Amino acid sequence: MENSELLKSGEFLVREVKPEDIFIPEEYDEEQKMIAQTCKDFLEAEVYPHMEQLEKGDRELMKTLLKKSGELGLMGISVSEEYGGFGQSFVTQMLAAETIGAAYSFSVAFMAHCGIGTLPIMYFGNEDQRQRYVTKLAMGELLGAYCLTEPGAGSDANSGKSNAVPSEDNSHYILNGQKMWITNAGFADTQTVFAKIENDRVLSAFIVDTASEGVVVGPDEHKMGIKGSSTAQIYYNDVKVPSENLLGKRGEGFRIALSILHMGRIKLGANVIGAAKKAITDSVQYANERKQFGTQIANFGAIKHKLAEMVIRTFAAESATYRVSRDIDVLLDKYTSEGCEKGRASIDAIAHYAVEAAVLKVYGSEMLDFVIDEAVQIHGGMGYSSEMEVERGYRDSRINRIFEGTNEINRILVVDTAMKRAMKGQYGLFEEAEKLAEDISAIEIYRPLENDDSYTEQIGYVKNMKKIALLLLNRASDTFGRKLVHEQEILNNISDIIMEIYIAESLALRIKKIETIKGDAGLYRDILDVYVYDIVQKIRKSAMDAANSMDGDDNTDLLDVISKLSETAGVNVKEARRRIADKLIEDNMYKF
């Protein structure tokens, strides 16, 4: 993909993308496959045999396993070579994150260390800080934590009360405060801590050594899930932080926090795919073994429906995840070729795709919740027993809708960020919306022709859905103006539409590219047909809800065009899902 063709964040709503311009998992090279296999082998050999002990909150065991992964080089995949890492592409980083995502609470501890525990220093630190900390974090010699949330500051991170005061000789800061929900708190050696310097309005960031006098780590929290990960409060009582441990500039902490959250969201989008694939494999293997009424339950249509839908949603999420991952790689290359320092270039490229990061976080976490819930159901009574891994997966999944900013916050971010980027002139969102709204009765509506193939038909429906999103954005902006920010129910409706559009388009582009590579997309066409057929109906409901909620206007014209834009040809979803399920059942594991 040429830099000039690079899609800006949110621009997918108004621009057509070609299948050849995206990356798909079918294009992994041998090195990427080898890295993923190394991660899988490590989980099989070192992590899964100890899961029950980890679940009991064994901090020392978790610390030992993390350090072993560091010795194998798994912690350095995202870190530049000059600091002891492997400097892999963002696509490769996401593949590793996906693979590790199958490891329950170990995944939480590992990703917290490699992501929010290491990368703030990698991306925002100076050369001295990187040499002192990143080189050791990349090898697992030091373990990291990220300390942002406070008892009174969750989603509103900048309202935190932790405070740092410079010493009289400016050699250090005196840090006081309290942090909560800190992953890896029980064994982290180093922490990225956010606090306001004196009376500053915004946060600054500091690198704090846990061994420093005045740092007090509380006992581990008792949690619903991810019990193997250490989560605790940390207290700072007149802690002396050397001045050279100020991370970035004074007052830059809020920017650092937001940038790192974008990174955390997008990598969580990869994590949940690994967890979902494991749940699907566990489910089909159980369904192939469990007999009722004289036959394996995998033979029942109701079970096939569940298995197929689990595959469809996972495959769709995966398609979007690696599409944007490649976009980030391309933008990163552009920034570095223009002379930007690689650490800042990396985080700026990730932060640029804030809309897509929020999409992946929300869609992925809710996809996994669906998949693991169905996995428990397929297991029946055994699914509720702690003897089965799906029970652990069910409990562990729930936190993902809260991690990295709640899904409620991220839904608002999808719409808000897309609109703000457009207002800055990055792409013509409002111009395209106004063109459609000028003569709503003359809008061109795609309807399938007799000779249209599956891809042409489904991408045509996606284009119709984009028009619905643009019309709603235009009408909502005209109706509420600046007060739109307070209409969260309507924003949620529009956000759900935008998310489904991005996922569906990514899925369609992937399957068309598979067809180009292999000559035939096979039953992947079934995945596309069923997915688009289903989401058009979901989008229609969200759009009708939004339009009917805009009081003060006659929205008959809008309701009418929504109804027309959301018409689709029928799909034999029963047979399509059975074909998908039959492949899964035959393979006895997720191999899509």
Inter-residue contact 184 to 144 (CB < 8 Å): yes
User: Amino acid letter at 256?
Assistant: I
pLDDT (0 to 100) of residue 520: 86
Task: Grade residue 152 by pLDDT with cuts at 50, 70 and 90.
Answer: confident
Nearest C-alpha neighbor of 148 from the set 459, 405, 472, 473: 405
Residues 6+ apart with CB under 8 A from 2: none
Residues 486-511: b if buried by 16+ CB within 10 A, e if exposed: ebeebbbbbbbbbbbbbbbbbbbbbb
pLDDT (0 to 100) of residue 156: 78
457 is catalytic: no
**Structure-block tokens of residue 508:** 């369609």
Classify domain 3-142 by CATH number: 1.10.540.10
pLDDT (0 to 100) of residue 155: 74
State mean pLDDT over 273-300: 96
% of the chain beyond a pLDDT of 70: 99
Beta strands in 170-284 (DSSP E): 172-183, 190-197, 204-209, 215-220, 231-242, 246-247
Task: Read off the pLDDT of residues 167-213 as tens digits, 9 standing for 90 and up.
Answer: 999 999 999 999 999 999 999 999 999 999 999 999 999 999 999 99
pLDDT (0 to 100) of residue 213: 97
The answer to whether 254-320+355-409 and 420-587 have equal CATH topology is yes
User: Amino acid letter at 45?
Assistant: A
The sign of the CA dihedral 12, 15, 19, 22 is: negative
Nearest C-alpha neighbor of 256 from the set 110, 116, 419: 116
**Structure-block tokens of residue 422:** 């457009």
pLDDT mean across residues, the chain: 94
Residues 76-114: b if buried by 16+ CB within 10 A, e if exposed: bbbbbeebbbbebbbbbbbbbbbbbbbbbbbbbbbbbbb
pLDDT (0 to 100) of residue 555: 85
User: Is 145-247 a domain of CATH 2.40.110.10?
Assistant: yes
Given the residues 98, 309, 404, 505, select the one marked as catalytic: 404
Convert 521-582 into a string of H (helix), E (strand) and C (coil): CCCHHHHHHHHHHHHHHHHHHHHHHHHHCCCCCCCHHHHHHHHHHCCCCCCCHHHHHHHHHH
pLDDT (0 to 100) of residue 160: 85
pLDDT (0 to 100) of residue 157: 75
Inter-residue contact 549 to 539 (CB < 8 Å): no
Classify domain 420-587 by CATH number: 1.20.140.10
pLDDT (0 to 100) of residue 553: 62
- In the block, tokens 């019990």 appear at 227
pLDDT (0 to 100) of residue 3: 46
User: Is 254-320+355-409 a domain of CATH 1.20.140.10?
Assistant: yes
Nearest C-alpha neighbor of 84 from the set 127, 42, 130: 130
Inter-residue contact 189 to 144 (CB < 8 Å): yes
Inter-residue contact 284 to 585 (CB < 8 Å): yes
pLDDT (0 to 100) of residue 554: 78
Domain boundaries, the chain: 3-142, 145-247, 254-320+355-409, 420-587
Beta bridge partners of 241: 173
Q: Is residue 264 pLDDT above 50, yes or no?
A: yes
pLDDT (0 to 100) of residue 552: 60
Task: Read off the pLDDT of residues 210-235 as tens digits, 9 standing for 90 and up.
Answer: 999 999 999 999 999 999 999 999 99
User: Amino acid letter at 328?
Assistant: I
Q: Is residue 419 pLDDT above 70, yes or no?
A: yes
State mean pLDDT over 527-544: 97
Task: Read off the pLDDT of residues 368-398 as tens digits, 9 standing for 90 and up.
Answer: 999 999 999 999 999 999 999 999 999 999 9
